[in-house]
Amino acid sequence: MRFKKSILSVLIKSAIAATVIAPSVLIAQEESNDSPVLEEIIVTAQKREQSLADVPISVAVVDGEFLKEHAIEKMADLQFSVPNFTMAESGIGTNVFIRGIGSGNNQGFEQSVGVYVDGIHHGRAQQARAPFFDLERVEVLRGPQSILFGKNSVAGALNMTTARPTSEFEGLVSVSHEFLDSETESSIVLSGPISDKFRYRIAGRYHELDGYIENVTLGRDEPQQEDFTLRTTFEYDFSDTMMATLKLEASKFDVIGRNIEINGEVPAAVGPFTGLTYSQILAGVFGQDPSVLDNSINGKRHANGDFSNNDQFEAVLTLDWELENHTLTSITGISNFEFNDNCDCDFTGGNVFTLPLSEEYDQISQEIRLTSNGGEKVDYIVGGFYQTSDHEYRDSLTINADSILVPLLNLSSPGLGDLFSNTAGPREARVDTDIFSAFAQFDWHLSDTLTLQIGGRLTHESKDGSRNLTITAADGSPLSAAQAIVADFYGIVFDIGASNTLNIIDPTLSSRLGTHPVSGSRSETEFTPDVKLYWDMSDNTMLYASVVQGSKSGGFDFRANNKGASATMEEAFEFENETALSFEIGGKFSLADGAAEINFAAYLTQFDDLQVSIFDGTLGFNVGNAAEAEVKGFEVDGRWQITNNLTLAGSFAVTDFEFENYTNGRCNFGQAPNGPQAADGFCDYSGQTNQLASDWQGTFSAMHVYDLSGGMEINTALNVFFTDDYHASASLDPALIQDAYANVNLRIGLSNPVAGWDVALLGKNLTDEDIILFGGDAPLSGSTFGAIAKYNFVARGRTVALQFTKKF
């Protein structure tokens, strides 16, 4: 049974909790002779530096020091420190969710969670896999952030700020080694002045990991990782009022293998393999490597080889010009991101098929904004934004001569498999995008304590897209005359509507599946308003209420093989924008003379035309729009500086997600279609929750410093993340539910702040929890072989690392 609470009920209980907690904090402080005060957290969630306590938004902040000390090396690690934020990798995509909302598996999607680094949008899903390095902080902004961060941040935004050059020389060398999986990370930072007006910061990082899952097919540990990042940042003061910042960054992050394991096998109920599981069919019938018989989650996998090679370059020029009572800011960004992957996308050690895929994305953006310095009757931010991008995607379903699909198809029809031998279905998709937008946000101070904030963003976006899929020889050359008919069989067996389908075997193929190539153009103009009212009840209390509208642009489907339930391929190729209307109330309280704080937010967000990626049951994904969804919940976090040496912190989030009208969901293998679109093979998920949406999540941390003689300290930090169960699969498969768990991390360090060194032992996932991050039906297991099998992306188990840092 789902855990549901009304917002009113939660608010009442939180108010009671605050009433109980506040006096206890005050009493504890009165009994202490010390007067500890929490360190103020500065954020740029509203494009100007502000105290977190003054920002009328639900924000979670993780600073750079915490990221470094606790080995939070990428976005996937961040989810274990921030409730209501989830990130999971899949075979062909990356999924980032805030408050239960995210984008599915399709390279054509804009991301529901906007990712921004120093003001530059990182809009491609796989960019979320890039490692963190030398960051000042990461801000997780929950809820639509359409005004200042752009129209596609419909679920929220990650606002990341890299460390800046310093006015005095600083240096840092850091080395860590993890013992159980043989992981090493090394970094160096040099920062300081070149002259009175010129400053620099040079930061480099190298990281490698041997792997934590044994690939029993290839006899190696996976995933093996190798990352390299080099960033140079320069600041130059043209005058006392004008400064230029130039950041150049190149990074490479490569992975060999994946963290996938197969389980959940159900024997075939009908057909030639009745009574056999998928692994038994692969090994016993087709003589594949015996490793495929491992069908449990046990730290072992079977696969024939996967890799992902990623390269990223970015140049950002920022100009800040202090005018009278204003600051004029210009941010110019040039970005390039590309990857080349090979997905053993049947996810087994059997030779079934492979899917090489690649993506290249080039982006140029320009933002100009004028910000008032504050303190006037009306404070404001106004600006304009332009972005142009070229996006190319390629993949190729490849059936080699040794694929078991060859004898399988020969078994059903002699000679059919030979036609498939050494053939491929290369796909090419492209979209060119131009975005123009203007935005403004005004803070009208109605009184000394009451402020009305009104904002809006007007965005015009145009896209031209195309996609083609042609059946070829495995090397990409045209089919021979003898094999030309195989294009028809790709349609019959894999539901692929290729450009060279002959319609000889089945005259209805093209009308039933659609055909390639397909192209389209779309243009949309959206206005997204934002209204907030916040009340400074006292120096220690702020309450706010907001109504925000968000929008995420429509686009073109890169990953579909057919037209699905649409009337034409052109209609299926294009999907519409989604919109969100969010209501939020919240409060931020400072207690015990600044020694403690409590923040809360309660929200209700309604989504229309929610974009979803639907597995077609064979090999492709069709993009569509679910009619309506609603998510409501409550978030609370707090910190308490009990003494100068002891700090407690915690957070908790309750989420209630419900598809109000989602009748075109993809059924699991073996699940009978139901609902209004059952005739098209769909399942009705109306009234159900979403993938990766937990009913509740939370964190608890305790940090203690023990002073030793000689200026040394013992630093201890305990961090616990806990979550309710959640669906790991997009099809809400009951066989792929991750049970509730707690992730426990502990760091014990010895340091000398004056000498600038620190050595620590860090243990993560100390209870060695088995965690499923993402899952689904193993491709072709049910549709072609008739036997169900599940794939699971699993999280890393227990790790123990030694860290050493020296500042100079």
- Beta-carbon contacts of 198 under 8 Å, excluding residues fewer than 6 positions away, are 234, 235, 236, 237
| pLDDT tens per residue, range 144-163 | 998 888 767 889 999 999 99
Distance CA 538, CA 588 (A): 11
pTM: 0.90
Give first-to-last CA distance, the chain, whole Å: 56
- Number of neighbours of residue 187 by Cβ within 10 angstroms: 19
- Per the document, the length of the chain is 808
| pLDDT tens per residue, range 671-684 | 889 999 888 888 99
Query: What is the per-residue pLDDT for 375?
Result: 85
Distance CA 535, CA 314 (A): 40
Give me the mean pLDDT over the 484-513 stretch. Answer: 92
Would the pLDDT of 622 be above 80?
Answer: no
| Residue 657 structure tokens | 């997600």
Q: What is the mean pLDDT of the chain?
A: 90
Distance CA 397, CA 214 (A): 26
Closest among 745, 802, 800, 797 to 212, alpha carbons compared? 797
| pLDDT tens per residue, range 388-442 | 999 999 999 999 999 999 999 898 888 889 999 999 999 999 999 999 999 999 9
Distance CA 403, CA 399 (A): 6
Query: What is the per-residue pLDDT for 20?
Result: 36
| pLDDT tens per residue, range 213-272 | 999 999 999 999 999 999 999 999 999 999 999 999 999 999 999 999 999 999 999 989
Q: Are 3 and 634 in contact (CB under 8 A)?
A: no
| pLDDT tens per residue, range 529-561 | 999 999 999 999 999 999 999 998 889 998 889
Nearest 5°: phi and psi at 53? -70, -15
Q: Which of 26-35, 140-149, 489-498 is the least confident region?
A: 26-35
Between residues 124 and 187, which one has the greater pLDDT?
Answer: 187
| pLDDT tens per residue, range 320-373 | 999 988 999 999 999 999 999 999 989 999 999 899 999 999 999 999 999 999
For residue 739, give the 3-state DSSP assignment.
Answer: coil
Task: Enumerate the β-bridge partners of residue 747.
Answer: 717, 762
| pLDDT tens per residue, range 737-789 | 999 999 999 999 999 999 999 999 999 999 999 999 999 999 889 888 999 99
Between residues 16 and 52, which one has the greater pLDDT?
Answer: 52
Would the pLDDT of 17 be above 80?
Answer: no
- Beta-carbon contacts of 690 under 8 Å, excluding residues fewer than 6 positions away, are 100, 101, 629, 631, 657, 659, 727
Distance CA 778, CA 282 (A): 13
| Residue 534 structure tokens | 């916040």
| Residue 498 structure tokens | 């290729």
Q: Are 489 and 420 in contact (CB under 8 A)?
A: yes
Distance CA 361, CA 359 (A): 7
Query: What is the per-residue pLDDT for 205?
Result: 97
Distance CA 581, CA 560 (A): 29
